[in-house]
């Protein structure tokens, strides 16, 4: 009973924070920007967060967190609109929604699809938020017993998970992670005070700028790839009226199952570090198709085919905050950037964050409710606006993206060298794509690298140089065991993928 | 897919080299320490070795699949245009202020647009400058060099 009393008090505390005018404004701005940027194919969640990250430098921690979080979960709301209307996902997590969403719009049922995905997203988000509220304090109490071994092992697990699901072979994903960690080590080594890999450049004293890295690797590289391909495909979405959004009774009755199953799948994958909305959406769709009485309906406009993945990815978006906030281990590159805000403001993420800054933690959680309600309003009545946005040609958009990247990066540090870095990382990011590597795991490695080294060092210091310490403690041993399984799977599937392709000439 | 192997050999080889360079540099330049009391060079050394190992894991299987021509679809014009535009911005930002830098950025990056129309680019550059000034200087209250003329 005392648990609920505490929960009630925390909710009140959180609402008090979240309902302030400033926080409401930034919540709205965040979800609005998230929807807008998520809508545009070619700007994913990560680019959206990177683009607006510079703004957060000048804000207090709570509005900054609220805003970026709003962009994060808002982007998948908007992304589904592009999937349905254009057959082009707005964000990777919305890719699955194209499979049945686009056929629905071809059948004149775009309105219904859009409404159902918004409802699905809200349901998924609600479940996710409830899970955070109920379980975060429990997880925190366990996590307070974590030692450096557990943190290190968990980070290894998260990184291997992220590389396993990234595009391209898992081994390449792991290589990207390691590359990212090395880049993350550039700059001052906190424990020893030594400047590493700086080559004497004053600008590298604090390390490579995360903003420059993310914007270059993702934003610039994406623009380069898209300029010509986007112009080949003129945009002409089916028009959507408000009335056309009303679903049939059949649609609604078919959706209950997908809501439940999607929310469960999504919450599970969201909580695991390394996996998130993309995997959740795919799994939810696969499960739905497997369990359906008429699987042949899928791919031709089955409402379950849009509802399940969209519920899943929004549930995953919310529960992704659980490991990030309670353990301080971000599960995805976007979360890593959000976590960086805490670090910049001098707040160290982890279980102590929840207990020492309850106003920030609960304020953020309550803002999730507010944000999702705002998103429902934005996505249903205002759908006409977004249809018009989607029709905007890419050749107007990409210079705007580049301008925002350059001015944004410059505004953070005031150093022109950061812009050089954006160019360099843009070239790197583009080359990586050409050779079949995905840059996403690199960012995760970059953010986690210094922390991993810290925990590794400390673990070995405490255990007097005993490398087996990671395996002797039960929790960390579990993480390491799962990591080992993931690693084996990654190597095996990479080599097997090659074996099946080898004979082809 | 033909030529995949060649790509992997190149990229894998690059990673092997990178890993070796990182490991050697760390070994030469920084104190390695012991496993119990790790110096600043220990972690980079380990990572360099791991990276090289991964590079080998990518390179070697690639050698098996060397059949076929090396085909990489490089978008040369977009790449050059975007790079040129960002570099122009970097060179101009402090000397000329961001307004002119934005104009250069817009103009140069638009060169890659197959449907390039001068009037539209001019309008776009103008509106982006105004928007950026509004958002970054007025809304966010940042002090960025707006307009300089060094001559």
What's the average model confidence in pLDDT over A368-372? 92
DSSP output for B24-44: HHHHHHS--B-SSSB-TTHHH
pLDDT at A487 over 60: yes
- HSE at residue B115, side-chain half, CA atoms within 13 A, is 13
Answer yes or no: is pLDDT of A495 > 90. Answer: no
Is A188 strand, coil or helix? Answer: strand
Rounded to 5 degrees, what are φ and ψ at A91? Answer: -135, 160
Best to test chain B binding among A53, A224, A458 (most B CBs inside 10 Å)? A224
Q: How far apart are CA A64 and CA A58, in angstroms?
A: 9
What is the rounded CA–CA span in Å between residue A409 and residue A301?
43
What residues of chain B lie within 8 A of the CB of A448, using their CB? Answer: none
- Judge whether B118 is closer than 8 Å to chain A, CB to CB: no
Percentage of chain A exceeding pLDDT 70: 95
Mean pLDDT score, A107-112:
84
Asked whether the beta carbons of A94 and A233 are under 8 A apart, the reply is no
> What is the pLDDT at residue B20?
96
Distance of CA A295 to the CA centre of its chain: 30
And the tokens for A390?
């989607």
Mean pLDDT of A177-185: 94
Of residues A32 and A109, more confidence is placed in: A32
Percent helix, strand and coil across chain A, each rounded to 5? 75, 0, 20
Q: Which helix (H) or strand (E) holds A195?
A: strand A195-196
Percent of chain A past pLDDT 90, that is, above it, reads: 19
Task: Determine which of A111-125, A282-296, B11-25, B83-97 has the lowest per-residue pLDDT on average.
Answer: A282-296
Distances in Å between the Cα of A433 and the Cα atoms of A109, A426, A465, B18, B72 are 36, 11, 40, 18, 10
A223, A404, A434 ranked by CB distance to B82: nearest: A223
- Name the residue among B74, B73, B65, B75 with its Cα closest to residue B1: B65
Residue B1 has what pLDDT?
Answer: 58
Residue B148's alpha-carbon distances to A324, B93, B94, B95, B96, in angstroms, are 44, 9, 8, 6, 4
pLDDT > 50? residue A505: no
Question: Which parts of B34-146 are beta strand (E)?
Answer: none
Give the pLDDT score at A234: 53
Q: Which residues of B touch A173 (CB under 8 A)?
A: none
Q: How far apart are CA A61 and CA A67, in angstroms?
A: 10
Q: What does the pLDDT average to over B42-62? A: 92
Contact between A320 and A270 under an 8 Å Cβ cutoff? The reply is yes
How does pLDDT run across B62-107, given as a tens digit for each residue? 888 777 787 788 888 899 999 999 999 999 988 888 888 999 999 8
Task: Find the radius of gyration of the CA atoms of chain A.
Answer: 22
Give me B40's structure tokens. 């600043």
Sequence-distant contacts of A324-327: CB under 8 A, at least 24 apart: A324/A349, A325/A136, A325/A349, A325/A353, A325/A354, A325/A361, A325/A364, A326/A136, A326/A139, A326/A140, A326/A143, A326/A350, A326/A351, A326/A354, A327/A139, A327/A143, A327/A146, A327/A151, A327/A154, A327/A273, A327/A351
Q: Are A128 and A69 in contact (CB under 8 A)?
A: no
| pLDDT in the model for residue B34 | 83
**Which among B67, B74, B113 is the nearest to A227, CB-wise?**
B113
3-state secondary structure A204-271: HCCCCCHHHHHHHHHHHHHHHHHHHHHHHCCCCCCCCCCHHHCCCHHHHHHHHHHHHHHHHHHHHHHH
Q: Quick one: tokens of B137?
A: 């200087």
Closest A-chain CA to B18:
A179
* C-alpha distances out from residue A423 to A129, A133, A203, A391, A498, Å: 39, 42, 16, 29, 33
DSSP assignment of A19-48: TSHHHHHHHHHHHHHHHHHHHSTT--HHHH
Of residues A178, A189, A396, nearest to B50 (C-beta): A178
* Residues A77 and A314 sit within 8 Å (Cβ to Cβ): yes
Cβ partners under 8 Å of residue B15, min gap 6: A175, A179, B51, B52, B54, B55, B58, B59
> Which candidate, A13, A396, A326, A367, places its Cα nearest to that of A154?
A326
- Give me the pLDDT at residue A236, please: 58
**Residue of B54, B61, B85 lying closest to A495 (CB–CB):** B61
Is residue A253 very low, low, confident or very high in pLDDT (cuts 50, 70, 90)? confident
Counting DSSP H helices and E strands in chain B, the numbers are 4, 0
Query: Which of the four pLDDT bands, split at 50, 70 and 90, describes residue A1?
Result: low
- Tell me which chain A residue has its CA closest to the CA of residue B36: A465
Q: Give the integer Cα–Cα distance in Å for A445 and A177.
A: 5
Q: What is the mean pLDDT of chain A?
A: 85
Taking the C-alpha atoms of residue A3 and residue A23, their distance in angstroms, rounded to an integer, is: 27
The C-alpha angle B15, B20, B26, rounded to 5 degrees, equals 125
Using CB atoms, pick whichever of A175, A403, A435 lies closest to residue B55. Answer: A175
CA distance B31 to chain A (A): 10
The pLDDT, as a whole number, for residue B54 is 93
What tens digit of pLDDT does each residue of A33-65 get?
999 988 887 778 888 888 888 888 888 889 999
- Measured between its terminal Cα atoms, the distance across chain B in Å is 56
Helix (H, G, I), strand (E, B) or coil at A187: strand
Averaged pLDDT for residues A95-118: 86
CA angle A155, A157, A160 (to 5 degrees): 110
Interface membership of B82 toward A (CB under 8 Å): yes
What is the mean pLDDT of the segment spanning A144-159?
86
Give the pLDDT confidence of B135-151 residue by residue, as tens digits.
777 766 666 777 776 66
Verify whether the Cβ–Cβ distance A505 to B55 is below 8 Å. no
Positive or negative, the CA dihedral B44, B46, B50, B56 is positive
Distance between CA atoms of residues A253 and A247, nearest Å: 10
Q: Is A495 exposed, middle or buried (0-12, 13-18, 19+ CB in 10 A)?
A: middle
Contact (Cβ atoms closer than 8 angstroms) between residue A83 and residue A267: no
Q: What is the ipTM of this complex?
A: 0.90
For tokens 């609604």, name the residue: A252
Closest C-alpha to B23, from B47, B59, B54: B47
Provide the strand spans (E) within B1-104.
none
Banded model confidence at residue A238, pLDDT cuts 50, 70, 90: low
pLDDT, average across residues A249-269:
87
> Worst-scoring range by mean pLDDT, A167-171, A439-443, B7-11, B90-94?
A167-171
Three-state SS for A201?
coil
Residues on chain B touching A29 (C-beta within 8 angstroms) = none
Residue A331 has pLDDT above 80, yes or no: no
Is pLDDT of A503 > 50? no
Q: Is the CB of residue A36 less than 8 Å from the CB of residue B120?
A: no
CB of B35 less than 8 A from some CB of A: yes
Interchain CB contact of B64 with A (< 8 Å): yes
Structure-model confidence comparison of residues A324 and A180, the more confident one? A180
Residue A242 pLDDT level (bands cut at 50, 70, 90) = low
Which is higher by pLDDT, A482 or A423? A423
Mutate to test the interface with A, among B113, B119, B133, B148 (most CBs of A within 10 A): B113
Contacts of A441 by beta carbon, 8 Å cutoff, 6+ apart: A159, A162, A163, A166, A173, A174, A176, A177, A180, A333
């Amino acid at each position: 009973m005392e648990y609920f009393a505490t929960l009630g008090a925390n909710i009140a505390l959180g609402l008090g924070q979240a309902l302030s005018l400033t926080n409401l404004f930034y919540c709205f701005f965040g979800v609005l920007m998230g929807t807008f940027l998520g809508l545009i194919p070619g700007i994913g969640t990560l680019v959206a967060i990177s683009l607006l990250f510079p703004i957060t430098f000048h804000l207090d921690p709570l509005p900054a967190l609220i805003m970026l979080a709003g962009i994060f979960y808002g982007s998948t709301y908007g992304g589904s609109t592009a999937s349905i209307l254009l057959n082009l996902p707005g964000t990777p997590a919305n890719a699955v929604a194209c499979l049945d969403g686009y056929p629905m719009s071809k059948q004149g049922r775009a309105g219904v699809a859009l409404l159902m995905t918004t409802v699905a997203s809200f349901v998924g988000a609600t479940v996710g938020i409830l899970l955070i509220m109920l379980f975060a304090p429990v997880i925190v109490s366990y996590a307070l017993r974590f030692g450096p071994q557990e943190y290190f092992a968990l980070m290894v697990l998260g990184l291997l998970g992220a590389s396993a699901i990234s595009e391209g072979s898992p081994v390449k994903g792991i290589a990207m992670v390691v590359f990212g960690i090395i880049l993350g080590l550039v700059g001052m080594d906190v424990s020893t005070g030594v400047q590493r890999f700086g080559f004497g450049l004053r600008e590298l004293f604090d390390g490579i700028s995360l903003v420059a890295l993310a914007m270059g690797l993702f934003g610039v590289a994406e623009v380069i790839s898209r300029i010509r391909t986007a112009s080949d495909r003129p945009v002409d979405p089916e028009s959507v009226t408000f009335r056309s959004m009303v679903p049939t009774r059949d649609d609604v009755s078919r959706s209950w199952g997908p809501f439940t199953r999607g929310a469960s799948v999504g919450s599970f994958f969201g909580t695991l570090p390394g996996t998130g909305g993309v995997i959740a959406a795919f799994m939810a769709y696969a499960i739905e198709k497997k369990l359906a009485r008429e699987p042949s309906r899928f791919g031709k406009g089955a409402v379950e085919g849009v509802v399940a993945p969209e519920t899943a990815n929004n549930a995953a978006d919310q529960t992704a905050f659980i490991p990030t906030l309670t353990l301080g281990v971000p599960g995805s590159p976007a979360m890593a950037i959000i976590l960086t805000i805490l670090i910049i403001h001098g707040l160290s993420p982890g279980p102590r964050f929840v207990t020492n800054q309850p106003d920030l933690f609960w304020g953020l959680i309550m803002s999730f409710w507010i944000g999702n309600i705002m998103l429902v309003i934005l996505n249903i009545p205002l759908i006409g606006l977004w249809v018009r946005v989607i029709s905007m040609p890419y050749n107007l958009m990409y210079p705007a993206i580049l301008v925002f990247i350059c001015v944004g990066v410059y505004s953070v540090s005031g150093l022109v060298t950061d812009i050089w870095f954006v160019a360099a990382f843009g070239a790197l990011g583009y080359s990586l794509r050409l050779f079949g590597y995905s840059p996403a795991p690199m960012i995760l490695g970059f953010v986690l690298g210094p922390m991993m080294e810290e925990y590794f060092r400390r673990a070995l210091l405490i255990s007097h140089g005993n490398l087996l310490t990671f395996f002797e403690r039960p929790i960390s041993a579990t993480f390491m065991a799962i990591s080992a399984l993931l690693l084996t799977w990654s190597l095996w599937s990479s080599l097997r993928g090659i074996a099946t392709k080898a004979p082809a000439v | 897919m033909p030529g995949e192997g060649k790509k992997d050999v190149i990229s894998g080889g690059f990673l092997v080299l990178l890993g070796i360079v990182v490991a050697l540099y760390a070994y030469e330049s920084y104190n390695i320490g012991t496993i119990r009391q790790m110096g600043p060079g220990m972690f980079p050394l380990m990572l360099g070795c791991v990276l090289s190992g991964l590079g080998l894991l990518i390179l070697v299987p690639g050698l098996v699949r060397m059949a076929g021509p090396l085909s990489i679809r490089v978008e040369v014009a977009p790449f050059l245009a975007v790079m040129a535009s960002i570099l122009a911005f970097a060179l101009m930002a402090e000397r000329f202020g961001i307004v002119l830098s934005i104009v250069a950025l817009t103009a140069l990056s638009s060169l890659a647009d197959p449907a390039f129309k001068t009037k539209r680019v001019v309008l776009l550059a103008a509106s982006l400058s105004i928007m950026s000034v509004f958002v970054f200087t007025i809304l966010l209250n940042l002090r960025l060099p707006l307009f300089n003329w060094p001559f």
